[in-house]
Amino acid sequence: MGTPWRENPAHGRLLCDGGRVRETGLSESACPSCRRSESIGRAAQVVANGAGITSKLALKLLHGGVDVLTTGNHVWRQKEVYSFLATDERIVRPANYPAGSPGRGLTVRPAADGGEVAIVVDLHAEATSEKVAMGHYLDGRVTAVLGTHTHVQTSDARVLPGGTAYMTDVGMTGPLESVIGVRSDIIVRRFLTELPAQFEVQFEVADGPVRLDAALVSADGGRATGILAFEVIL
């Protein structure tokens, strides 16, 4: 399974983080090959503190080197961010919301080196079958289809026959000891009692070391040439 990763300086590269539940980002020391001085694009899917994203956090990530922010089912949690979604082209909401929803479902951003065009689909969905099927449907039409939402990284990263990098789920940037980001004791108690935990105690993002999941995609002429999934403990 998988496509062997071969470094080719002539190929553009795009780094995509998994769903974020903590602000901690990728540091250069954690991933020396991802220095900003190289022509690498960065995209990050954001779930801030389990409650959507704010314009302040979005700007922090953008100033920190992220080129494009994607969002998911938590995008409407913070009303404050609606105007930011509508005005800043570096952040997108899911594309399948009705016309008239704040923001945009796709964006076009210049490559850091002014070079090739890459088309990346952040497929924010739960069902693995739907995600795999969409990967094949889009194979050869886009550079990469990268799944998010489950917060659990899958081991199926590969370049499909038509030249599209695919991965069912990139994973999460969030606390290592947690249940997909939330304090484990809260979620375990919810499953044991079947009572809705949010009525007793707010979901709380767990403390401790952060696991950063990501996928690095290389591309040439819009076609993927490799995909490398990795995990870094920060």
Give the helix/strand (H/E) hosting 193: helix 184-193
Helix, strand or coil for residue 212? strand
Q: Is 18 in the site for Fe ion (CB under 5 A)?
A: no
Query: What's the rounded Cα separation, in Å, for the pair 107 and 119?
Result: 10
Total residues binding Fe ion (CB under 5 A):
3
Q: How far is the CB of 31 from Fe ion (least distance, A)?
A: 24
Catalytic residue among 11, 74, 124, 151: 74
Smallest separation (angstroms) from Fe ion to the CB of 71: 9
Instruction: Provide the 8-state DSSP code for 101.
Output: S
Cα distance between residue 136 and residue 77, in whole Å:
32
Q: What is the pattern of x (binds Fe ion, CB under 5 A) and - over residues 52-71?
A: --------------------
One symbol per residue from 203 to 232: x for binding Fe ion (CB under 5 A), - otherwise; what is it? ------------------------------
What part of residues 142-171 is at the interface with Fe ion (CB under 5 A)?
A: 149
Near Fe ion in 70-99, by CB under 5 A: 72-73
Toward Fe ion, which CB reaches closer, 51 or 176?
Answer: 51
Amino acid in the structure at residue 76: W
The tokens describing 228, both together, are 């490398």
Q: Is 111 helix (H, G, I), strand (E, B) or coil?
A: coil
Whole-Å CA distances, 198 to 187, 194, 204? 10, 12, 10
Q: Cβ closer to Fe ion: 45 or 225?
A: 45
Least distance (Å) between residue 49 CB and Fe ion: 14
Decide whether 34 or 43 has the Cβ nearer to Fe ion.
43
For Fe ion, which is the closer residue by CB, 20 or 149? Answer: 149
Helix, strand, or coil here: 175?
Answer: strand
Catalytic residue list contains 151? no
Helix (H, G, I), strand (E, B) or coil at 39: coil
Q: How far is the CB of 45 from Fe ion (least distance, A)?
A: 8
Enumerate residues 6+ apart whose C-beta is below 8 A from 105: 92, 93, 94, 95, 96, 97
Residues engaged in binding Fe ion (CB under 5 A): 72-73, 149
Catalytic residues: 74
